[in-house]
Amino acid sequence: MAVLPLAGVHAGDNRVRRAAISASRNIGVAMKRVPGGTPIVQVVAKRLFRAELRRLHDVLEETPIAGGYWVWAGLLLGWAREGDVLAHDTSDADFAFRNEDLERVRESAPALLAAGFRLVHELYSNDGELTGFVFERSGIHFDFLKLTQVEDRYSYYGYFYGVQVGFEIPAQPTEPFELVSRWWLKAKDHDLDLTALYGDWRTPRLDWRTDRDSPAVVSCAPHRIPAIGPGPHQLGHPQPFRRDQS
């Protein structure tokens, strides 16, 4: 029960927050060796994940990208299947935005940074195109991928274990829905969206690998451009970044 105070850590005390997160991870490893321990860890992780999602939502609600991004992939899957975030998938959250809204994302980033989020990756394709951003807070990644519409399809890239994977899903309008006590946007026909990404999305698969199993995959190639950190003045001005791409 020592990890439960995590939900009460104040946003302004970064040292305390980092220490609490580190402690929770260590306890989580230990609890996996205790019968019945893993569900406790999942409850704590889910509580933190939900709180950070609300924080992200509230920050972006006052920025240029408000109304220009939407929930999809694993985060949408949890809502559609369980009416909540997935208990076993609380380490990252998936969001999408349209190619034409790239500048709105860039203009919104300072508000996230001021709220304690950290830009850890700018994602570039093999042809040098900026394809997404990964922000982090409390050990959770918030992935924003750029989708480009070509006729009735969205195309985008993902990066897995040194491989650039191209995807295509149906392009469609968005509609509001409620998740973690906040209103977000999602694809209007979420069944169509999730079926394109997962096939039989109603049946849980803990061995799922998007790069291997998704029916939306249309191309694979070695990824020649390493992960890039934020530029010195604004997003999109790259400099070398040491960590591997997640």
Between CA 207 and CA 93 the distance in angstroms is 18
Task: Tell me, yes or no, whether 24 lies in a domain.
Answer: no
The domain tally of the chain equals 1
Rounded CA gap, 187 and 169, in Å? 11
- Answer yes or no: is 76 within a domain: yes
Q: Is residue 45 part of a domain?
A: no
Residue 195 lies in a domain: yes
- Tell me if 122 sits within 8 A of 133, measured CB to CB: yes
Q: What angle do CA 224, 230, 236 make, to 5 degrees?
A: 75
Domain assignment present for residue 46? The answer is no
pTM, two decimal places: 0.79
Instruction: Please give the Cα distance from 73 to 95 (Å, whole number).
Output: 8
Give the length of the chain: 246
139 domain-assigned:
yes
Tell me the pLDDT of the chain (246 aa) as tens digits.
Answer: 333 333 333 444 455 455 444 544 444 444 444 444 467 778 888 999 999 999 999 999 999 999 999 999 999 999 999 999 998 889 999 999 999 999 999 999 999 999 999 999 999 999 999 999 999 999 999 999 999 999 999 999 999 989 999 999 999 999 999 999 999 999 999 999 999 999 999 999 889 999 999 999 999 999 998 666 654 333 443 332 223 322
CB 140 within 8 A of CB 147: no
| Domain of residue 145, CATH code | 3.30.460
DSSP 194-240: HHHHHSSTTS--TT--HHHH-TTEEEEEE--S--EE--SSSTT--EE
Secondary element (H or E) of residue 38: helix 37-60
Domain hosting 217: range is: 52-240
Say if 33 falls within a structural domain: no
